[in-house]
Amino acid sequence: MYIYDLVAMVLIGLCHVVLYLYFIRYDRLSYPLVFLISIVFTVLLATIVTVTGYPEFNTIMMGLFLLSLGLMQIELTFLQNLYFTIANMVSISLFKIVLVELGLLIYLWTPFNLYIWTVNLIHMIVTIFIFIFIVLLRKQIQKFAQYIVTSPLYYVSYAVFSVSLVVIFLLTMPGNHFLHSIYNEYREEMYIGVFILFFILLLIVIIGSHLTKEKLLRDQQDYLDNELLDYVRKLEVLHDELANFRHDYINLLLTLDEGVRSKNMKEIERIYYKVIAPTSEIINNREIDIVKLANVGQTEIKSLLSVKVMAAQQQDIDIMIDIPHLIRAVPISVLKFIRMISILVDNGIEAALTSKEKIVQIAFFENANGLYFVVQNSVVDGTINLKGIFEKNHSTKDAQRGYGLYSLKRMVDQSPEVTLETSYQAPFFKQTLIIRK
């Protein structure tokens, strides 16, 4: 066996594992561990095929191995797990077959001689290309996988992938007599079918990618439209409050009229301290924290935080904001960031509302390491279980709730550049969202 074959075998095993983890959006395994798993499985697979003499075990064992990896992602149904397993095996195999054939054809057009090891070298180059392709397009692969299972293309692609898997299985030159006879009789037709299936799947991927982008844009626009409507409603409420306050304040000033005209300083002092002075607290609490949001450069984020702050103030929560410097932009998708901080702030307000202190503190700043969004809120003593807060359906409220932090944890797990730190020191619960630069 040439060194080219050995490198190609390891890389193909690595491609299958990495692509499948991208498909199921599971990123809790470290890269060294993924590499080690791939090597161990590749060696085991080569040993089984060599000992038994049945190349078809390559496809069977690969399928079982990927299905077992899918068990790590508990959100997958069995059919989705099977779908991504088949899609993984077919995608890499079809790409490898087509690219090796094209590479060999291109090589034959060159003036170089054809050696025994030429095909092995081309095979290795193709596997390197496939691995680089998978890593570079990992985000697009994850988005496509997330979209495809809910799209009209799901069942169509399921059927095409299944047919492709059967063809690829027969092209492994199976050791079974019956399967081998089918391979010998229809080999040329199957190779033609491989190219046809390759272009059909390529077309499905192109259409699916286009529809994925459209769906993401629609989701983002719908979310921002809803936030804008909520923002407008809150502004209307604030406008009414300010109008009422203006009317009441004018009446308060009129109470000074008699004292001023009679030059009765004791009456003026009494009215000021008992009636007028307490209104300064209302002005300070209601206005200053809103003004601090001027340091948020992106309108969507500023609007969202304005709505949340006003909502908290209307529920008599003491909300404090600290945004010391201008933050022009966030280094991830604005929609994803908005979804994350919405969950953090909503949970903070909800928890503070039931507490004795009724305090929510929000800090938003950046330094050389990254961007930080901190929410600290008071809670009822004994209500926080740090081990269980991110579990599905976990809530201190009714059973219909408890998806917020669970959804947040999923988004954080799917974003390698994002970290969530959580701590609890009675009576305050603190969560820090960190986006590394």
Q: Cβ atoms within 10 A of the Cβ of 296, count?
A: 21
Return the H-helix or E-strand segment holding 371: strand 370-378
Q: Tell me: pLDDT of 85 over 90.
A: yes
Phi, psi of 253 (to 5 degrees): -65, -30
The answer to whether the predicted template modeling score (pTM) of the entire model surpasses 0.95 is: no
pLDDT tens-digit series, residues 190-228? 888 888 888 888 888 788 777 777 776 777 777 766 766
Interatomic CA distance for residues 270 and 272, integer angstroms = 5
Relative orientation angle of helices 3-23 and 31-52, to the nearest 10 degrees: 120
Contacts of 258 (CB under 8 A, 6+ apart): 264, 267
Q: How many residues does the chain have?
A: 437
Top-confidence residue, 272 or 363: 363
Topology classification of domain 288-436? Heat Shock Protein 90 (3.30.565)
Ramachandran category for residue 395: left, alpha or beta (phi over 0 → left; psi -120 to 50 → alpha):
beta
Using pLDDT thresholds of 50, 70 and 90, give the confidence band for residue 290. low
Interatomic CA distance for residues 61 and 76, integer angstroms = 21
Interatomic CA distance for residues 384 and 347, integer angstroms = 12
Distances (CA, A) of 206 to 161, 355, 363: 15, 52, 42
CB 429 within 8 A of CB 379: yes
Top-confidence residue, 391 or 363: 363
pLDDT tens-digit series, residues 133-143? 999 988 888 87
pLDDT tens-digit series, residues 176-185? 778 778 878 8
pLDDT tens-digit series, residues 43-58? 888 888 788 778 878 8
Contacts of 200 (CB under 8 A, 6+ apart): 160
Q: What is the pLDDT of residue 372?
A: 94
Q: What is the pLDDT of residue 387?
A: 63
Q: What is the pLDDT of residue 224?
A: 67
CB 310 within 8 A of CB 290: yes
Interatomic CA distance for residues 199 and 194, integer angstroms = 9
Q: Is the peptide bond before 427 cis (omega within 30 degrees of 0)?
A: yes
Q: What is the pLDDT of residue 4?
A: 78
Max mean pLDDT range (2-6, 218-222, 369-373): 369-373
Using pLDDT thresholds of 50, 70 and 90, give the confidence band for residue 313. confident
Using pLDDT thresholds of 50, 70 and 90, give the confidence band for residue 255. low
Q: Tell me: pLDDT of 331 over 90.
A: no
Q: What is the pLDDT of residue 393?
A: 47
Range name among 9-23, 340-354, 364-378, 401-415 with the lowest pLDDT average: 401-415
pLDDT tens-digit series, residues 226-250? 766 666 666 666 666 666 666 666 6
Q: Where are the domains of the chain?
A: 3-220, 288-436
- For 408, the token pair is 């947040």
Top-confidence residue, 175 or 255: 175
Q: What is the pLDDT of residue 403?
A: 54
Q: What is the pLDDT of residue 132?
A: 93
- The separation between the first and the last C-alpha atoms of the chain, rounded to the nearest angstrom, is 45
Q: What is the mean pLDDT of residues 29-51?
A: 84
- DSSP state letter for 376: E
Q: Tell me: pLDDT of 399 over 60.
A: no
Interatomic CA distance for residues 26 and 80, integer angstroms = 14
Q: What is the pLDDT of residue 400?
A: 38
> Mean pLDDT score of the chain, rounded to an integer?
80
Q: What is the pLDDT of residue 307?
A: 79
Using pLDDT thresholds of 50, 70 and 90, give the confidence band for residue 434. very high
